[in-house]
Amino acid sequence: MPRRVIQFSTGHVGVHALRQIIERPDLELVGVHASSPAKIGQDAADLVGLDEPTGVIATDDLAALVALQADVVVYTTQAETRPAEALAEVCAFLRAGTNVVGSSFVWLLNPTTAPTWLTEPITAACLEGGTSMYVNGIDPGFSGDTLALAALSLTGSATQVRVQEVCDYGSYDDAAFTGVAFGFGSVPGDEPPMMFLPGVLDSIWGPSLQLIAGCLDVEVEEVREFYEPWVATEPIDCTMMRVEPGQTAAVRFGIEGYVGGRPRIVLEHVNRLTAAAGPDWAYPPEGRPGVHRVVVSGSPGVEINTHVGLDGVDHNIGGVVATAARVVNAIDAVCDAAPGMLAVTDLPGSYAGRVVW
């Protein structure tokens, strides 16, 4: 019998999760949440550009969605900017017997390091409803957990593991969140962008760093954050904005986990709005526009490059499709798991969804 699924939100990630749910024969779409008045009342098919109506109409009525008693809700709304409301939403589903998978609340990628103001109510809701919750994505997520652990499994001895997203965001249409949070178009020295306030990078990528450390059975003595902007020398026009000379057009940032006084576990981003920006920083191989990469220094030394978006699919669209897939594909494993909060290491080693039919 197909799993009965609700899609919660239809933003960058949500719209792809919704399409995957509609198209997969092992999943039955039973509800869709949308917050914007323009989307409420529309058939789910219209929201993702499919011709055949689903009969499932987008609503902002949380209680009605909870009352559907679906097997699972795919939760991809903007949670970090509205944590209290988002927490209440996921707990309502979990208490009512509906499991949660999602890309939101990136702090929950590793429940053991997540803040207690989140883990305590969520765990209580899971126990009350006999349900589970799992959060993941491509980065943070896949590259800093499954990919890193795959590379480390090929290693005899390692001096460092470095996880990188090196990506040209020039085609990404997200001025409102990514643009503002990363400080693209801002002038270094003005108000620091939200992403680079003290503690924010650690809160987002730290869960992956600590998950790797846990799997390696090492204690991280210190986590250091780093951030460097690169400013444009001439105007740059890209999908999300126009950047004038003197404004930020690329950023390099990340966190380093120190073990034995050295940075042994590093998670790093290089994000540019055009290929010419940040010329001294890392690039993807073979002239590609993006890569999720793990490099293990040691014996034998391992490098794995992941490219999402082939055959004409834009790499930035590939990233959000992959983020949606990463959690939609976990639905069976999460529905079958014992109640509670789950990290990727709690799921079967080779989980995958029914993506071929």
Report the interface residues with ligand NAP, using CB under 6 A: 9-14, 34-36, 39, 76-80, 82, 103-104, 106, 137-141, 177, 320, 323
Shortest separation between residue 61's beta carbon and ligand NAP, angstroms: 13
Gap between the Cα atoms of 91 and 144, Å rounded: 27
Residue nearest to ligand NAP (CB): 137
Shortest separation between residue 331's beta carbon and ligand NAP, angstroms: 17
Give the tokens for residue 105.
């609340």
Which residue lies nearer to ligand NAP by CB, 99 or 232?
99
**Residue 105 phi/psi, 5° resolution?**
60, 60
Which residue lies nearer to ligand NAP by CB, 172 or 227?
172
Closest CA to 202 of 218, 222, 178, 186: 222
Which residue lies nearer to ligand NAP by CB, 141 or 232?
141
Gap between the Cα atoms of 218 and 211, Å rounded: 10
**Residue 121 phi/psi, 5° resolution?**
-65, -35
Which residue lies nearer to ligand NAP by CB, 37 or 189?
37
Which helix (H) or strand (E) segment is 194 a member of? none
Shortest separation between residue 198's beta carbon and ligand NAP, angstroms: 19
Antiparallel, parallel or unpaired: β 236-237 and 242-243: antiparallel
Gap between the Cα atoms of 291 and 281, Å rounded: 13
What one-character-per-residue DSSP string does 257-317 give?
Answer: EEETTEEEEEEEEEEESSTTSSTTS---GGG-SEEEEEEEEEES-EEEEE----TT--HHH
Gap between the Cα atoms of 171 and 157, Å rounded: 39
In whole angstroms, what separates CA 165 from the centre of its chain?
12
Which residue lies nearer to ligand NAP by CB, 13 or 232?
13
Shortest separation between residue 256's beta carbon and ligand NAP, angstroms: 20
Which helix (H) or strand (E) segment is 73 a member of? strand 72-75
Shortest separation between residue 300's beta carbon and ligand NAP, angstroms: 29
Give the tokens for residue 319.
């990233």
With 0-12 / 13-18 / 19 or more C-beta atoms within 10 angstroms meaning exposed / middle / buried, residue 71 is: buried
Which residue lies nearer to ligand NAP by CB, 302 or 320?
320
Shortest separation between residue 165's beta carbon and ligand NAP, angstroms: 9
Shortest separation between residue 134's beta carbon and ligand NAP, angstroms: 12
Cα first-last separation, the chain: 15
> Could you tell me which residues are beta bridge partners of residue 33?
8, 59
Which residue lies nearer to ligand NAP by CB, 96 or 109?
109
Shortest separation between residue 44's beta carbon and ligand NAP, angstroms: 11
Which residue lies nearer to ligand NAP by CB, 205 or 232?
205
Which residue lies nearer to ligand NAP by CB, 145 or 225?
145
Shortest separation between residue 299's beta carbon and ligand NAP, angstroms: 31
SS3 call for 342: strand
Which residue lies nearer to ligand NAP by CB, 236 or 308?
308
